[in-house]
Amino acid sequence: MLPKAIVLLSGGLDSTTCLAIAKSEGYDCYALSVDYGQRHIAELSAAQTIAKHFNVIEHQILNIDLSTLGGSSLTDKNLQVQDYSNSKNIPNTYVPARNTIMLSLALAYAEVVGAYDIFIGANVVDYSNYPDCRPAFLSSFEHLAQLATKVGAEGQSIRIHAPLLHWSKSRIIQEGLALGVNYGMTVSCYRLSKEGKACGTCDSCVMRKNGFIELQTQDPTIYNT
């Protein structure tokens, strides 16, 4: 029997690559997607296709409406998603405590299915200065997971894997392509049109585009600009 892993799967480029890596490392994968009131649900529908493609054991979609709380342009329709700017400030697409919430839910799921490994596509290089993508945050969560759970209290180690953490976007794409990822299935844009076209100018689009350009590879995304 293969060891089990929970993989956080948004349907974007990073988390899809992360799932491919978890599979290649020999885990039976349980995918977890969280519908937290994002602007569009194209990501979730991509997540479903991807989970199926990678033959996960189970794909859970949890609903939690963080738009009630607001505080981010991704969940609050009154805030506009900004264009990419190469600044050190945290952009308004930052969702308060998002990765803490995602990892907590993954931890609950891990405890239920008996998994001790959690994969998250966090990345510190291209990732817009989000505080909850930093290595220190992830180590701190791993420490917390040990204390937070029944299995942890009984001495079992719980590991948080962030294989993409120090990779550039082009390296992520390169590794994913080597594992057979079809990036046409993934959605990155923060403000996808109803027709499924990516804006090409939000943080997420710009970073994706540059990754493919650097790699001199065709990006299967259809861009508006």
> Could you list the residues that contact a second copy (CB under 8 A)?
60, 62-66, 68-71, 90, 94-101, 103-105, 107-109, 111-112, 131-132, 134, 136-137, 140-141, 143-145, 147-150, 152-153
| CA pseudo-torsion sign 66, 71, 72, 78 | positive
| Residue placing its CB nearer to a second copy in the complex, 91 or 176 | 91
| Residue placing its CB nearer to a second copy in the complex, 148 or 185 | 148
DSSP H/E element including 161: strand 159-161
* Nearest distance in Å: CB 113, a second copy: 8
Q: Which residues contact 196 (CB under 8 A, 6 or more apart)?
A: 42, 222
* Nearest distance in Å: CB 202, a second copy: 19
* Nearest distance in Å: CB 72, a second copy: 9
* Nearest distance in Å: CB 67, a second copy: 11
Residue type, 160: I
| Residue placing its CB nearer to a second copy in the complex, 143 or 166 | 143
| CA pseudo-torsion sign 132, 173, 190, 110 | negative
**11 — alpha (psi -120 to 50), left (phi > 0) or beta?**
left
DSSP H/E element including 117: strand 117-119
